[in-house]
Structure 1
Amino acid sequence: MRQFYILLCFLIVSFLGYSQIPANYYDSALGLEGYALKTQLKQIIDDVSDGLSTEFTHLDQGDNLDGLYANSDLDLYYENDNSILDIYSENPDGVDPYVYFFGTDECTGNFNGEGQCYNKEHIIPRSTVGNASPMVDDGHHVVPTDGRVNGLRSNLPFGVVDDSQLISQSGISNPTLNGSKAGGNLNSGYSAGYTGTVFEPIDEFKGDVARMYFYFVTRYEDLVDNWGDYPMFDGSNNKAIADPFLNILLTWHENDPVSQREIDRNNVVFNYQNNRNPFVDNPNYVSLIWSVTNDNEAPSTISDLSTSNPTDNSIELSWTAASDNVGVTAYDIYTDGILSNTTPNTSFTVNGLIPDTNYCFTIKAKDAAGNTSDFSNQACETTTNNGSGSNECASEDFENIPADNSQYTNRSWVGPNGTWSAAEARTDRTIAGSRAIAIDFRDDTDGRLTSPVVSGGIKSLSLTTQRIFSGTDGNLDVVVNGNSVGTIAYSNSVQNVTINDIDIEGNIQVIIQDNDSGSARVAMDNLSWTCYNPLSVSDAEFNHLKIHPNPVKGPYIYLNISEAVDFKIYSILGNLIDKGNLFDGRIDVSNLKKGIYLLTLEKDKQFISKKIIKL
């Protein structure tokens, strides 16, 4: 079996390397814009011989998508384990809740829960286009996904879910195990204008979905006016996509750019059915078609950006919403002049910062057409210096878990730090009168608690546990980013346990899982962990440290230190750029690009951080 997968991977890599955009494929579209461009792209990718100098006609392969998926939808990007890359179950920042493999896990009979089997998901619903070919088997918009999540999505339009209007169905949690969700559309912001029920994939794949829609209404431009009953279509052949869904898709397209996975998949589908998705090959076609004549007005400039509540590792930002003739879709946040974050909201907490360091922030507002405002006013703040790891990075009190229910099943909910999930969990238990999540860790059950991905690192973790009902006492493994860092005890009495000195930096995902030391159902409450930033382990400073020149244009900076010390240079966002040992008081910075960096020095387990500027 192992030799088979090695051969399969080799063939896929070879296959991907061979497929590419044919020479002159898009030449007939050069210089066009608006709906004229859309019509020309339709001629390039349709199944009619249009007399183009370079002509590739769409070849309908019929019901043979299984043959396509074995090449087009393998996970070679996240787990890299040859499982199916399912946009409804993939966890891009951690362990997938379940995996499927081609040839063994396709749905063949009845199924009633998530994680049981996969089937074919028509991103443009099959109920909209019927069984007509080639659209019903078009590999550019029909993808393999979990069968139960496919059922939850059903024929719902795609939109932005209002978390207060989640729908409920048996056999599945909502949000699902990877955070996809179904519910009432959020009738505000860039999704304003629709109040029906919608389905929302996770951010990682929103752009993928948008570009599938742009492909579909272009490839089937001459037919799409027949499908005006579908809420996402407006009954026309040219614009095709109804408001506000066009604004939603434009926003997703901009915020989630084309990935290598989409490029590779486009190449494989082209080899399969002889046409391409133009909006993967040339993402700018989107704005040329749907935005060129509609919106060239930039959002207003923010003038009241303010900072507040600094900690050792974070600073809160807030501002008043910008105005725009169509609608603001997002705000770009710049930290010391470097783009660091993007948010659709009018407040944001910048995490992963360095203690006792001054940061200055500006923001730009942008709309779906790509217009951006001028920079806002600058707001500056200095982080505190209360000691590394002294501040809390994440906490969960389980008060927001789903309504009381005694059934052990998969659960998910949104807490202060994002979406949590629990497998084999019930929601009707308490510890000392406070709501708790209870998970079945008996025998061969796959009970586990999974946190969202949280920035800022982890120094120590605390959790309250109690065994409920009968069973034997034991311990639970605490896994951080795939590595076990310690255990949490449980018994029939309440246990308050803390694991110290975990000391892992960067983005963190915590999983609490069984290690077979006992057999019980365990309630858990009051989970929290503190931040960890190795750039400031101690308050101690080296006396009279000076750096010159600073700012620096040349290849070296000089420090008034004569003895050997270790140094590290980080970007302003905490990424390690260089490290070494300082012997002669000189550090080579010739390879640094223009920007702001943080230099850290270590001597006798004491650290100091200083900002340097490369001109």
Structure 2
Amino acid sequence: MKKIFTLFFLNLAFLGLAQQTLSVNAIPAGYYNTATGTGYTLKTQLFNIINDHTDRGYSGLYTTYLTSDVDNYYENNGTMLDMYTEKPTGSECEYVYGGGLQDDGTLGNAECDRYNREHLIPQSVFGQNNFPMYSDAHFVVPSDKYVNAQRGDLPFSKVNTPNATYSNGSKRGSNLNSGYSAGYVGTVFEPIDEFKGDIARMLLYFATRYEDQVASWSYTMFNGTSTQVFTNQALNVLLTWNAQDPVSQREIDRNNAIYARQNNRNPYIDNNNYVTQVWGLPLSNPTFSDLNSVAVYPNPTTDIINIQSEVTLEEIEIITINGQVLQQIKQPVLNDNTYTISNLPKGFYFIKLANASQSVTKKVLVN
């Protein structure tokens, strides 16, 4: 979401992508004290912090929404804030909580008929009535019933040619198989720019909160691991949206309200630097392959670069921004699923990782 208040300041670093930590008074003292690692180690530390939250039940979501999803930012009139129908600069269909339009099993054949609950990771992925994910307000949001059904189980990505556009500009259609969304052919759902970062951070929360189960779930956006979790294509979309749409006051307030109910937080809202510390930076011109488990961290770094891979690499190339091959490491030594590179001069590099038939390119900054 865009900035509505100016109580917090975001400094963008590294080509405008890395975001500063937001200071939020509602974070309990010491809440993130054990989040000291990098890469997937950090993600596991965050999992241990936000795990075992209080489950308020599926019906309890509507109670949570009374404080977590109220429009105090646009029309500022206390109506339901729905990311699929909200028009940040104009009037829109509005729902009043308790106003008789909550889903009762009828209507929903057009926008503005009914509102219900939208699982941003579809409930079919983990099974209906499988708690606590079924009722986790950090990624289950209030939504127009019709648009919710129109999105269905579709992955989030950049639409090329829409086959449907909804009242606030959200759309459904074929994926734009180029640029940051390259690597997927199929139908996708794209929210408006105002909420792309919000949704990205909710999905990254899901990947972290359910790290101990996600590898067993099948979904178009998932790669079958508990580490990276997302396919390269899906991850690049989420990292790009996270960078393009910084954390907003609305997200901070929502995080605080859900914490008051569930007793856990979305760490990627509290400290947006965690996103790049776990997953790295998005690729502006990605090269996708089946090397889905590869992660490069920390990024940015001041010295050591770790390359965590469940696949044996045959070659690692360190390439400068000018295209010069600085290092070419053939048959690199793998220790505990990790390759290590050190003593690189300060600068911006492309790291090309390859085996016999596949390759993937990562970006890294050495400060």
TM-score when scaled to structure 1? 0.43
How much has 1:151 moved relative to structure 2?
Answer: 0.7
Q: Distance in 1 between matches of 2:197 and 2:214?
A: 21
1:271 to 260, 284, 287: 260
1:371 is displaced (CA, Å) by 6.0
Of the three residues 135, 140, 143, the one matched with 1:142 is 140
Aligned position for 2:293: none
Residues 298 and 42 of structure 1, relative CA distance in 2, 3 Å threshold: farther
Query: For residues 121 and 370 of structure 1, what CA distance do their matches in structure 2 show?
Result: 36
**Which secondary structure state, in structure 2, belongs to the residue aligned with residue 204 of structure 1?**
helix
| DSSP 3-state at the match of 1:120 | strand
| Corresponding residue to 1:198 among 188, 194, 211 | 188
Equivalence for 1:123 = 120
Structure exhibiting the larger radius of gyration computed from Cα positions: 1
- Output the CA distance in 2 between the equivalents of 1:139 and 1:178: 23
Q: 1:66 maps to which residue? A: 62
1:467 maps to which residue? none
CA distance in 2, matches of 1:118, 1:19: 32
Amino acid of the structure 1 residue aligned with 2:144: D
Matched, 1:184 2:169: no
2:113 corresponds to 1:100: no
**Which residue does 1:111 correspond to in 2?**
108
How far apart in 2 are the matches of 1:326 and 1:123?
Answer: 32
Go from structure 1 to structure 2 and tell me whether the alpha carbon gap of 1:226 and 1:94 turns closer, same or farther (over 3 Å shift).
same
- What is the match of residue 22 of structure 1? 28
- The change in CA–CA distance for 1:135 and 1:298 in structure 2 (over 3 A counts) is farther
Q: CA deviation at 1:298?
A: 9.8
* Paired residues of 1:247 and 1:368 also in contact (CA < 8 A): no
Cα distance, 1:207–1:370 mapped onto 2, change above 3 Å? farther
Report if aligned partners of 1:19, 1:271 keep a CA contact under 8 Å in 2. no
Matched, 1:208 2:198: yes
CA displacement 1:391-443 (0-9 Å, x = unmatched): xxxxxxxxxxxxxxxxxxxxxxxxxxxxxxxxxxxxxxxxxxxxxxxxxxxxx
Deviations 1:276-309 (A, max 9, x none): 00000000001000118266699958xxxxxxxx
Structure 1 CA distance for aligned equivalents of residues 119 and 175 of structure 2: 21
Shift of 1:326: 8.4
| SS of 2:232 mapped into structure 1 | coil
Mapped partners of 2:237, 2:76: distance in 1: 31
Aligned partners of 2:47 and 2:202: how far apart in 1? 14
The residue identity in structure 2 corresponding to 1:29 is: A
Give the equivalent residue in structure 1 for 2:71.
Answer: 75
Indicate how the Cα distance of structure 1 residues 136 and 187 shifts in structure 2: closer, same or farther if over 3 A, else same: same
Deviations 1:218-254 (A, max 9, x none): 0000000011x20111110111111200000000000
**Distance (whole Å) between structure 1 residues aligned to residue 150 and residue 127 of structure 2:** 19
Q: How does 1:57-456 map to 2 (within 5 A)?
A: 58-63=53-58, 64-96=60-92, 98-104=93-99, 105-108=101-104, 109-131=106-128, 132-163=130-161, 166-167=162-163, 174-227=164-217, 229-291=218-280, 293=296, 300=321, 325=350
Higher-strand-fraction structure: 1
Q: CA separation in 1, counterparts of 2:321 and 2:108?
A: 51
CA distance in 1, matches of 2:232, 2:197: 17
| Structure 2: distance between partners of 1:135 and 1:222 | 12
For 2:46, what is the secondary structure of its paired residue?
A: helix
> What is the rounded CA distance, in whole Å, between the counterparts of 1:184 and 1:217 in structure 2?
25
Matched residue type, 1:84 = M
CA 1:369–1:176 in 2, change beyond 3 Å: closer, same or farther? farther
Distance 1:113 1:286, change over 3 A: same
Whole-angstrom distance in 1 between the partners of 2:254 and 2:75: 17
Cα separation, 1, equivalents of 2:123 and 2:277: 29
Amino acid of the structure 2 residue aligned with 1:205: F
Q: Retained in 1: the 8 A contact 2:321–2:350?
A: no
CA contact (8 A) 1:254 1:370 kept: no
Deviations 1:360-418 (A, max 9, x none): xxxxxxx997969xxxxxxxxxxxxxxxxxxxxxxxxxxxxxxxxxxxxxxxxxxxxxx
**Compared with structure 1, are the counterparts of its residues 150 and 263 closer, same or farther at alpha carbon in structure 2 (3 Å cutoff)?**
same
Alpha-carbon spacing, 1:276–1:266, altered in 2? closer, same or farther (3 Å): same
Q: Which residue of 2 aligns with 1:458?
A: none
Secondary structure, aligned partner of 2:62: helix
Paired AA for residue 171 in structure 2: K
Q: Are the aligned partners of 2:107 and 2:113 in contact in 1 as well (CA < 8 Å)?
A: no
Report the Cα distance in structure 1 between the residues aligned to 2:34 and 2:319, rounded to whole angstroms. 31
List alignment gaps of at least 5 residues for structure 1: 1-17, 48-57, 168-173, 302-323, 328-366, 373-615
Shift of 1:114: 1.1
- Aligned-pair identity (%): 49
Letter in 2 for 1:188: S
Secondary structure of the corresponding residue to residue 257 of structure 1:
coil
| 1:196 Cα offset (Å) | 1.2
Calculate the aligned-residue CA RMSD, in Å: 2.5
For residue 8 of structure 2, what is the aligned residue in structure 1? none
What SS does the corresponding residue of 1:244 show, helix, strand or coil? helix
Match of 1:38 in 2: 43
Greater relative contact order (CA < 8 Å, ≥ 6 in sequence): 2
1:61 is displaced (CA, Å) by: 1.1
Contact 2:350/2:362 (8 A) holds in 1: no
In 2, Cα distance between equivalents of 1:369 and 1:71: 40
Distance in structure 2 (CA, Å) of the matches to 1:92 and 1:371:
35
> Structure 1: how far apart are the matches of 2:319 and 2:279?
16
CA shift in 2, pair 1:299/1:155, >3 Å:
farther
Gaps of 5+ in 2: 1-23, 282-295, 301-317, 323-348, 353-360
TM-score, normalisation: structure 2: 0.70
Structure 1 pair 370–180 and aligned structure 2 pair: CA distance change class (3 A): farther
SS of equivalent to 1:29? coil
Q: 1:200 & 1:219 partners in 2: Cα distance?
A: 24
1:297-344 residue CA offsets vs partner (Å, 9 max, x unmatched): 99958xxxxxxxxxxxxxxxxxxxxxx9489xxxxxxxxxxxxxxxxx
